[in-house]
C-alpha cells in the first residue's frame, strides 16, 4: 500500500500563505493527521491531541479540521463510519480506495477518472466542477493475510 508521503512543512507553508495564523495547536493537529496510519475522525484527532496537550478545546479541533479541509489538505471519506473520517490529500490523486478489512486508505492513479469526467460532461451537457470517487473492498495486503 502506498505510503502517504506528506510533509508537515508543506502544510504549514500553505497555511501560512493562506493568511491563517499558525499556532502550536495547529502544528500539532497537522502532525496528527499527516502521520496517522489510519483515517481519523475529528473526535479521534481531539483525543490524540489531548494526550500531549490536555486542555486542547474541542471547538479548536473542529475549527482546524474545517480549515484543513477547505484548504484541501485533508479529505473527508464518504460512505465509511458516518462520513466523519479524514485522510491527508495527495496532490493530483483523486481516486481513493478504502480497505473494509484493515481500514487503511490508498490513493490510486486517477488519469482514467479525468477521462471519464470529460466524457460524461460531453454526453450529458452538464458542467462538472467537482468529483468524488471512492472505492471499497479488500486491499492487496489483507487478501494475502486471509
Does 145 bind a copy of itself (CB under 8 A)? Our answer is no
Residue from the set 79, 91, 103, 145 that interacts with a copy of itself by CB under 8 A? 79
Residue from the set 12, 76, 90, 93 that interacts with a copy of itself by CB under 8 A? 76
Q: Which of residues 52-71 bind DNA (CB under 7 A)?
A: 53, 55-60, 62-64, 66
Question: What is the C-alpha separation between 90 and 74, in angstroms, rounded?
Answer: 9
Specify the residue, 85 or 104, whose C-beta has the smaller distance to DNA.
85
Residue from the set 4, 8, 36, 41 that interacts with DNA by CB under 7 A? 41
Provide the pairing of β-strand 40-41 with 74-77. Answer: unpaired
Residue from the set 71, 78, 93, 103 that interacts with a copy of itself by CB under 8 A? 78
The contact mask relative to DNA for 84-123 (x = CB under 7 A, - = no) is: x---------------------------------------
Place of cell 454526453: 123
Measuring CA to CA, which residue among 103, 88, 89, 87 is closest to residue 137?
Answer: 103
Does 70 bind a copy of itself (CB under 8 A)? Our answer is no
Measuring CA to CA, which residue among 76, 70, 77, 114 is closest to residue 92?
Answer: 114
- Residue 112 touches which of a copy of itself, DNA, none (CB < 5 to 8 A by kind)? a copy of itself
* SS3 call for 23: coil
Q: How far is CA 6 from each of CA 12, 114, 119, 140, 146, rounded to the nearest angstrom?
A: 11, 23, 32, 22, 30
Provide the pairing of β-strand 74-77 with 95-99. Answer: unpaired
- Residue numbers at the binding site for DNA (CB under 7 A): 20-26, 41-43, 53, 55-60, 62-64, 66, 82, 84
Amino acid at each position: 500500500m502506498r505510503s502517504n508521503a506528506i510533509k508537515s512543512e508543506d502544510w504549514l507553508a500553505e497555511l501560512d500563505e493562506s493568511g491563517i495564523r499558525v499556532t502550536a495547536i495547529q502544528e500539532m493537529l497537522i502532525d496528527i493527521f499527516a502521520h496517522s496510519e489510519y483515517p481519523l475522525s475529528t473526535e479521534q484527532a481531539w483525543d490524540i491531541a489531548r494526550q500531549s496537550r490536555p486542555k486542547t478545546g474541542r471547538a479548536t479541533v473542529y475549527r482546524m479540521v474545517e480549515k484543513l479541509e477547505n484548504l484541501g489538505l485533508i479529505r473527508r471519506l464518504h460512505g465509511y463510519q458516518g462520513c466523519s473520517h479524514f485522510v491527508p490529500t495527495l496532490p493530483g490523486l483523486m481516486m481513493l480506495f478504502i480497505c473494509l478489512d484493515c481500514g487503511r486508505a490508498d490513493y490510486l492513479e486517477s488519469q482514467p477518472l479525468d477521462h471519464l469526467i470529460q466524457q460524461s460532461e460531453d454526453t450529458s451537457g452538464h458542467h462538472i466542477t467537482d468529483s468524488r470517487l471512492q472505492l471499497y473492498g479488500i486491499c492487496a495486503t489483507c487478501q494475502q493475510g486471509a
